[in-house]
Structure 1
């Protein structure tokens, strides 16, 4: 099962309800109450929800109207992203006391490779515990952590004992852990994919493991190979301290739904200008332009076009976005438009997924 590749000790740290927790920390009157960061009312969307609100089913990306129906006592709080960034920097400074191999995924989560660490501590579990204690004592927030041999298992494990907990999956426990796991808990398996897996008789990791590579490729396309290997504990992606940006985007939610492409052109112009500005600021360009359309019924559609050359010019981005807008008829009135550029000139050649992994079962985790 395990041979050829080196063992790693990976920690995935995930802050607990980060935005909402920061707001509760800064405003003691909100502690213990159901709060949602974002906008309430007809056009509002929940960006984050406190655990008190989550008990009622309130979650991120939910409309403010539905959130209020689920939790009538819900308190909406305006987001303060500068504050979240400030807190995130303090948390990352703690990470760097232990290792320089830190890969932030967002303001509230990151991977750490502590195989070799600045503390000389052989136990990744003890390091994770110490980091979480420092975040609580020095910042005032709780964090959860997952610890294992690769990024995939560590990320799945970090959600296991939330909030304010941690889960270590030792090398010899990886396969049993994945086999008993509900397929919905697999990172990378969304709601649509889970439903498709259910139809194929795949409900747990063990069910997934019973399927051949050919079967998974046939029914799940390019993702089939990924699913085949992760359920076997094989995920050789390294923690990348300097993650190359994979895409850059801007979007706008409208105060009133738009029903005609003509009304959307001016909106697209402003979005294209913003994307171009961000590309220039980041000194990157991209080949693939994607138009994102969210309809009034919250269904989402994307339309993409890959050019023969890298672009960052606002006029080219706008003209391509227009072509995509007129590519086919709209399904409904539109509440949001977005433009993103991917296939950037910062991306490097991906290494093929390895077919084996090595573990020294007696390592102290």
Structure 2
């Protein structure tokens, strides 16, 4: 039985800015483009989250609740431009702490990682003890806090780390695993986005216990190949190993809409926001790409992709959006509505390859 820790830094980018700038401490702050630049929020401090501000939302939405009426959501909100070079340095410092205990470290982002400590360098019996030591070292050496989840597999460790933020530690023991999953609301499952959760609820699936009652045949019928994943996690099963040498093949983002998009104009507006998120992620990882892929999923769940390989590598927002827009313009919509849009860049040139896997971005998902 494996011992897995999921470490998640608390409001990482925003916390680094508050650490380095005392005048920002205790104040609502977002890292990302200003509302005048049609940017997106890369991270929000916990003070900002109290106002409903979260990552991936348009910056103008973070600044005003009703754009037309000009109603202030958080008038005192501070906007700070991202300093990815600093965040990468701090992330490397944190990963050095991880390596004191195990070499089986899989980065998910600069602020998030899985550790397999089943066999560890210090022969410590309990993963929870290692998690406490790591959290203490991070605080002492970086003046930042982290939240940890500990369990027998990656899915449960991830779910555990979301239970007690910020600066928390949650352990799900083997004998607690199935009961924990059964009581979990379906929209709380890692890997189940807002639209999929709505579809599950329409099928009468509201909790992990409801999901567990469904057969593999039924789940694959309704959700395709990912139905296998839902079938297993409903039983607290996740056989994925921690992969320290996994190499990034693409960088992208996709948004699944709670309400289907009906007009080409609003689709292009959403596509522009997604392009900005992709550009931020390329900057974050010092990466450029040559092949851009546009992903469109319609309301009937039909999905298409369109790709273009450019003459040179790029991470420029104007090029990313213009290329995605050109690909989208030739998509035949007819009377179909769109439930998901995505952009990714592959054929990457990365200055310093990092062990990071980019998960899809779902609308409304609150990244810590």
Which category describes the TM-score, using the shorter chain as reference length? 0.7 to 0.9
Aligned to 1:79: 82
Contact 1:11 1:114 survives alignment (8 Å): yes
- Once the 2 structures are TM-superposed, how far is the Cα of residue 72 of structure 1 from its aligned partner? 1.9
CA-CA distance at 1:201 after TM superposition: 1.2
Q: Give me the whole-angstrom Cα distance separating, in 1, the residues matched to 2:243 and 2:165.
A: 25
Could you tell me which residue of structure 2 aligns to residue 304 of structure 1? Answer: 305
| 2:34 is the alignment partner of 1:40 | yes
Residues 250, 340 of structure 1: 8 Å contact kept = no
Alignment match, 2:7: 13
What do the CA deviations read for 1:69-123 (whole angstroms, capped 9, x no partner)?
Answer: 2222211111111110010000000000000000001100000000000011010
Q: Does 1:328 align with 2:343?
A: no
Contact 1:151–1:237 (Cα < 8 Å) also in 2 = yes
**2:203 corresponds to which of 179, 200, 205:** 200
- Provide structure 1 residue ranges, at least 5 long, that are not aligned to the other structure: 1-6, 252-257, 260-266, 294-300, 344-365
Unaligned runs of 5+ in 2: 65-72, 255-263, 266-271, 297-301, 314-318, 349-368
Taking structure 1 as the reference length, what is the TM-score of the superposition? 0.73
For 1:297, the equivalent position in structure 2 comes to none
Q: Does 1:54 align with 2:22?
A: no
Using a 3 Å threshold, how does the CA distance of structure 1 residues 97 and 55 change in structure 2: closer, same or farther?
Answer: same
Q: Of the candidates 187, 192, 198, which is equivalent to residue 184 of structure 1?
A: 187
Q: Which residue, 336, 345, 349 being the options, matches 1:340?
A: 345
Q: 1:250 deviation in Å?
A: 10
Distance 1:113-1:55 versus aligned 2 partners, 3 A rule: same
Larger Rg: 1
1:100 aligns to what?
103
Deviation at 1:216, TM superposition (A): 0.9
Match of 1:26 in 2: 20
Any idea what the Cα deviations from partners look like across 1:164-214, whole Å, max 9, x if unmatched?
001000111100111111111111001111111111111111111111111
| Alpha carbons of structure 1 residues 182 and 139: separation in structure 2 relative to 1, 3 Å | same
Residues 137, 325 of structure 1: alpha-carbon distance in 2 compared, 3 angstrom cutoff: same
1:291, CA displacement in angstroms? 2.1
CA contact (8 A) 2:295 2:306 kept: no
**1:58 & 1:91 partners in 2: Cα distance?**
27
Structure 1 residues 83, 124: closer, same or farther in 2, change over 3 A? same
Give SS of 1:105's match.
strand
Is residue 110 of structure 1 aligned with residue 113 of structure 2?
A: yes
Alignment length (residue pairs): 299
Q: Cα deviation per residue 1:203-250 (whole Å; 9 max; x = unaligned)?
A: 111111111111111111111111001111111010001112231459
**What are the superposed Cα offsets for residues 326-351 of structure 1, whole Å, 9 maximum, x if unpaired?**
2336999xxx99552389xxxxxxxx
